Structure 1
Amino acid sequence: MIKIWLNHWFSAAYNIITMIKQDNPDFHIIGTNENQRSALATVCDEWYVEPVVKGDEYVDYCLSFCEKHEVDVFMPRREMLSISRRKAEFETIGVKVMVDDFEIVNILNHKDSAYELLKKRGVSTIPEYIIVTNVSSFQDAYAALEKRYQEICIKFVHDEGGKSYRLIDNNRKGYSALFKKQNTRMTYDAIVEALSERETFSPLMVMPNLSEEEISVDCLKTSKGLIMLPRIKDTSRIEKLCFRDDILERTQEVYDAIQLECPCNIQFKYLKGIPYFLEVNTRMSGGVQMACMAGKVNIPSIAVNKLLGVEKDWKINKEEQYVTHVEVPVIL
């Protein structure tokens, strides 16, 4: 029996687990979370509550958990970077870990180092950006970019899910402001005031706002080639699987520069008809189930079997189609 452990994942992993079991009914899924009443518990064969610890202490817990529960494949979400740093320790006890080597994962999890690496390796669609760590350098960066671009945005270099993204919007008053999503918008003066609370702050990226379509590409390297499932994202959560040549070419270009072995998600945004690189998530995305359903390719199953040394056949359905998902009630 193959035992697969998913540690503290986001709720969308409900679909990832379902897809693995769909193709591999004999696989035994173990789940853990800080929350005993997570929805993931309903699709796992075993369920445990995790301790609230971080860093190396958490990795020690993971190593002990793998040995105690005879885990064959570990699919980490929490503390991926720390786990990646010590991946060899898991391999020593016979556990295959679905995370790439620390050197590349560390780079890709910091936007400034990721952009620098990709530029050096010839990726052609890196947007212009300036890294700042104090108020005066932010003011200089804004002044320089404002001359060339209609909209400017900021986000911290080390961020997840775009939580720190802010569009600099100096027209946040009046009736029209009622129709704008305000929590992602700040005036220039408000940002300066907020940043002024620190003499220096964590590296902040100042860049043109890429205001057109966002494309999320779910990827996995296999012996048959690179699986690429591009979705045009939409705020309505209705997304379109769309195999545009410019996106496929740029995805391949980014992938050739990083050569990840595990599933990843590469994101682009358009500005004036040009798709610019946004970021690489070194894990499966929260919407991978939508891409897989529309493309008729089971990335979670293929990825797990790849770790186990089994190459699963696949063929992408390249019919362009819309896809969404709905929330359903689950008894915990």
Structure 2
Amino acid sequence: MNILFTSVGRRTYLVNYFKEALNGEGKIFVANSDVNSPAFLAADECVVSPLIYDDNYISFLLEYCDKNKINAIISLFDIDLPILSKNKKLFEDNGINVIVSDKNVLNICNDKYSTYKFLKENGFNTPKTYLDVEEAKKYLKYPVILKPRWGMGSIGIYKADNNEELEVFYKKLSREIFNTYLKYESSVDIEQSILIQEMIIGQEYGLDIINDLHGNYQNTIVKKKIAMRSGETDCAQTVDNVGLKNIGMNISRKIKHIANLDCDAFIDENGDVYILEMNARFGGGYPFSHLAGVNLPKAIVKWLNKEEVSVDDLLTATSGVRGQKDIQIVRIS
């Protein structure tokens, strides 16, 4: 079996996890538009691809997959997901399984205002969120959080403590969005591309909500976030929180995503749970689940091979395992 990762970037650890899962029975191919992607060094084969919004992106991938007998594609970048999902049947017609959720799931996850509406409509607690500055001033108490409606990581996140800061940061963020790749998805609704959100004070958690390749719920892995860096979890510990696991199960059954759903949650000082964001892909917090005994890459390989997967053996974490991300430097040739 050969698997291609698109938009692989620095996710070297995922390349290694899947190489271990294949156990020599196939190769890991990786693609990225940046030749300096560190994950290129870990893969069996690598290729520089066109940009995601390039007219030739999909045809390039199809030709590359055909040439290298690729069986499955996994993307690691939010902006890439809708493009692949839109062309999923085209890949399937060519014998290639694209492990991506359908467009409705991706719209809910990538558009954070749609995330807010989905959570409210389905009875999940989530911070109050507005698209209009004047409405936010009227209904929210300071401090508030401003962030791109279509965004990821720590790009363009600001905390405003008063009306003056809210207005300044709103204008600043508007400029930032259109000077980065966030401008592509934000162009869907340029006038309402910024969220103003109630700030929740409490303990943050990360959830890996795992479904199989048909959207059937398998398990939820809960991690207590201990430290963050550039919008990603830097240090975390697996915990056995039944309440959060049940919320993960309920989210899964409502949204029916494929494989992993990376989800952020807070428990405030009163013990109330708030769901903030969802990403329909492997998130930066997955390595902490893997460290604790979860092996979603191996489960995915088994599902692709039409084999049974034991949740107890592959998709259950040992509680109390703490991990810290390390920094290494690699030489790019």
TM-score, scaled relative to structure 1: 0.83
- The separation in 2 between residues aligned to 1:327 and 1:216, in whole angstroms, is 21
Contact 1:170 1:188 in 2 (8 A): yes
State the match for 1:115 in structure 2: 116
State the match for 1:8 in structure 2: 7
* Alpha-carbon RMSD: 2.6
- The separation in 1 between residues aligned to 2:135 and 2:35, in whole angstroms, is 49
Matched, 1:45 2:33: no
State the match for 2:126 in structure 1: 126
Larger radius of gyration: 1
State the match for 1:217 in structure 2: 207
Contact 2:223 2:239 in 1 (8 A): yes
The 1:304/1:109 distance shift into structure 2, 3 A limit, reads farther
- The separation in 1 between residues aligned to 2:123 and 2:113, in whole angstroms, is 14
- The separation in 2 between residues aligned to 1:241 and 1:255, in whole angstroms, is 20
Larger RCO, structure (CA 8 Å, separation 6 or more): 1
- AA aligned to 1:214 is E
- The separation in 2 between residues aligned to 1:282 and 1:240, in whole angstroms, is 22
- AA aligned to 2:152 is E
- The separation in 2 between residues aligned to 1:55 and 1:250, in whole angstroms, is 38
Matched, 1:243 2:235: no
Q: How does 1:201-212 map to 2 (within 5 A)?
A: 201-212=191-202
State the match for 1:30 in structure 2: 29
Give per-residue Cα distances to partners, 1:77-128, cap 9 Å, x unaligned.
35211110110000000000110112221222111122223332x2321222
- The separation in 2 between residues aligned to 1:119 and 1:35, in whole angstroms, is 39
- The separation in 2 between residues aligned to 1:195 and 1:240, in whole angstroms, is 33
State the match for 1:176 in structure 2: none
State the match for 1:288 in structure 2: 286
- Specify every segment of 5 or more residues in structure 1 that has no aligned partner in the other structure, as ranges: 133-137, 172-185
- The separation in 1 between residues aligned to 2:299 and 2:15, in whole angstroms, is 13
Contact 2:174 2:194 in 1 (8 A): no
Matched, 1:190 2:168: yes
Contact 2:203 2:225 in 1 (8 A): yes
Contact 1:8 1:76 in 2 (8 A): yes
- Specify every segment of 5 or more residues in structure 2 that has no aligned partner in the other structure, as ranges: 179-189, 229-233
State the match for 1:18 in structure 2: 16
Paired positions, count: 305
- The separation in 2 between residues aligned to 1:196 and 1:229, in whole angstroms, is 35
The 1:130/1:170 distance shift into structure 2, 3 A limit, reads closer
Percent sequence identity over aligned pairs? 20
Could you tell me which of 136, 139, 155 is aligned with 1:141?
136
- The separation in 2 between residues aligned to 1:108 and 1:83, in whole angstroms, is 15
- The separation in 1 between residues aligned to 2:283 and 2:94, in whole angstroms, is 28
Q: How does 1:299-318 map to 2 (within 5 A)?
A: 299-315=296-312, 316-318=316-318
